[in-house]
């Protein structure tokens, strides 16, 4: 560890197996808080390579809650957060639309990061459990096509590292890799990042992690979601090829709205917005979800193009299937709560 830490602090790039060794040491009780801080700081100052990001993600997933891989074709649409937009819960709302359109969604999420209310906050407000077991996640993916994984619950060994990260008070590699650490074996992914300069690198990481197809996006206004405010910048990963492209809302028949028009609020407010979207009420919120879910369906290979994805997303809502996915998850949560208390 001391030798590798010295290389890091000297600004040298680590090989993937070296970074795996460093990442494993982060979980060692004998590793001090100052050593953890030094690793995180050195990576931030020099900038993380794709190999280094992939290595630390692999180790984090190995130390996460075990989920047996019986469901295939699963995707996630979690973003990094950190864009400071105070938007409503776009990816969380979109997840139910994706599931209603036939995608299998293992939605990884946490408390508030860049929005006023995180995915866990709004789902908890709606009555959804945050502590699903690995077996329950598998059951929900099979029966409902969507399950939620609360990051602190599925990554219990990260507690000390997160404390050091918070004490540092500056962005670290952990501000980027949250969506990559889903313990479910994902085939595809729609990943939003708050840093436009990381698009190609994060797509390369997804390739290393075995994703067959994915889209990494930084939206108009530097959001970690697709935005209706202008030009969205993306990289499509398709069987190892990395293809950069841009998209405006009018390209897929949607109107432009400013990012101010999709601001969220507290958990109660954001739950109301989520329900309004799933009930098909016309708004900037609805169109934003249509764009994000459409891109998600295209990234998963369910839609033949992004416009087709938007149309499928709209049909998922209008048919009531998206709302059914939410109601199933609420009912499942209520039933398990009753069973635990009896």
The fold adopted by the segment(s) 74-327 is Pyrimidine Nucleoside Phosphorylase; Chain A, domain 2 (3.40.1030)
- Bridge partner residues of 109 (DSSP): 150
| Residue 53 among known ligand-binding residues | no
- On whether 213 is known to bind a ligand per the annotation, the reply is no
Pairing of strands 241-247, 104-109: unpaired
Report whether 136 belongs to an annotated binding site: no
Whether 82 has a binding-site annotation, put simply, is yes
Strand order in the sheet with 232-238: 146-150, 104-109, 74-76, 188-192, 213-218, 232-238, 241-247
Residue 95's pLDDT is 98
Q: Does the annotation flag 167 for ligand binding? A: no
d(CA 227, CA 319): 24
263 is in an annotated binding site: no
Residue 111 in marked binding region: yes
Question: Is 114 labelled as part of a ligand binding site?
Answer: yes
115, two tokens: 């929005």
Domain map of the chain by residue range?
A: 1-47, 74-327
Question: Six-digit token pair at 147?
Answer: 């399950």
Is 119 annotated as a binding-site member?
yes
Q: Is 217 annotated as a binding residue?
A: no
Residue 100 among known ligand-binding residues: no
270 is in an annotated binding site: no
21 is in an annotated binding site: no
Question: Is 212 known to sit in a ligand binding site?
Answer: no
Supply angle C-alpha 237, 241, 246, rounded to 5: 55
The reply to whether 107 sits in an annotated binding site is yes
Residue 175 labelled as part of a binding site:
no
Question: 176: which 2 tokens?
Answer: 């980027």
Q: Is 219 known as a binding-site position?
A: no
d(CA 4, CA 17): 11
Is residue 17 part of an annotated ligand binding site? no
pLDDT tens digits for the chain (342 residues)?
789 999 999 999 999 999 999 999 999 989 999 999 999 999 999 999 999 999 999 999 999 999 887 889 999 999 998 888 999 999 999 999 999 999 999 999 888 754 567 899 999 999 999 999 999 999 999 999 999 999 999 999 888 998 998 899 888 998 889 899 999 999 999 999 999 999 999 999 999 999 999 999 999 999 999 999 999 999 999 999 999 999 999 999 999 999 999 999 999 999 999 999 999 999 999 999 999 999 999 999 999 999 999 999 999 999 999 999 999 999 999 999 999 987
108 is in an annotated binding site: yes
- The first and second tokens of residue 76, run together, are 């996630």
Cα separation, 236 vs 296, whole angstroms: 11
Rounded to 5 degrees, φ, ψ at 73 are 70, 30
Q: Residue written as tokens 């048919």?
A: 319
Does 225 show up as a binding residue in the annotation? yes
Q: What is the pTM (predicted TM-score) of this model?
A: 0.95
Which pLDDT score, from 0 to 100, does residue 165 have? 86
Identify the residue whose tokens are 């190995």. 62
Locate 316 and state its tokens: 């998922």
Residue 115 marked ligand-binding: yes
């Amino acid at each position: 560890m001391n030798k590798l830490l010295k290389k890091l602090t000297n600004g040298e790039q680590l090989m993937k197996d070296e970074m795996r060794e460093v990442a494993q040491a982060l979980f060692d009780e004998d590793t001090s808080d100052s050593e953890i801080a030094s690793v995180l700081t050195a990576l931030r100052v020099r900038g993380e390579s794709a190999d280094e990001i992939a290595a630390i993600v692999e180790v984090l997933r190995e130390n996460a809650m075990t989920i047996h891989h019986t469901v295939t074709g699963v995707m996630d649409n979690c973003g990094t957060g950190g864009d400071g937009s105070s938007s409503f819960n776009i990816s969380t709302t979109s997840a139910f639309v994706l599931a209603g359109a036939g995608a299998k969604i293992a939605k990884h999420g946490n408390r508030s990061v860049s929005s006023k209310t995180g995915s866990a906050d709004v789902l908890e407000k709606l009555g959804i459990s945050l502590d699903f077991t690995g077996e329950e996640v598998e059951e929900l993916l099979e029966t409902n096509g969507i399950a939620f994984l609360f990051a602190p619950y599925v990554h219990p060994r990260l507690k000390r590292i997160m404390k050091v990260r918070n004490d540092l008070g500056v962005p670290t590699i952990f501000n980027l890799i949250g969506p990559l650490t889903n313990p479910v074996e994902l085939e595809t992914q729609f990943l939003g990042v708050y840093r436009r300069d990381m698009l190609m690198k994060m797509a390369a990481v997804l390739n290393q992690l075995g994703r067959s197809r994915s889209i990494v996006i930084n939206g108009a206004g530097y959001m970690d979601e697709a935005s209706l405010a202008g030009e969205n910048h993306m990289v499509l990963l398709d069987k190892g090829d990395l293809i950069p492209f841009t998209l405006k809302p009018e390209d897929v028949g949607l109107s432009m709205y400013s990012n101010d028009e999709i601001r969220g609020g507290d958990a109660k407010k954001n739950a109301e917005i989520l329900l309004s979207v799933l009930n098909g009420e016309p708004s900037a919120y609805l169109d934003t979800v249509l764009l994000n879910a459409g891109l998600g369906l295209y990234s998963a290979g369910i839609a033949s193009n992004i416009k087709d994805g938007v149309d499928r997303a709209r049909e998922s809502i209008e048919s009531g299937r998206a709302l059914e996915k939410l109601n199933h998850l609420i009912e499942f949560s209520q039933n398990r709560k009753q069973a635990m208390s009896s």
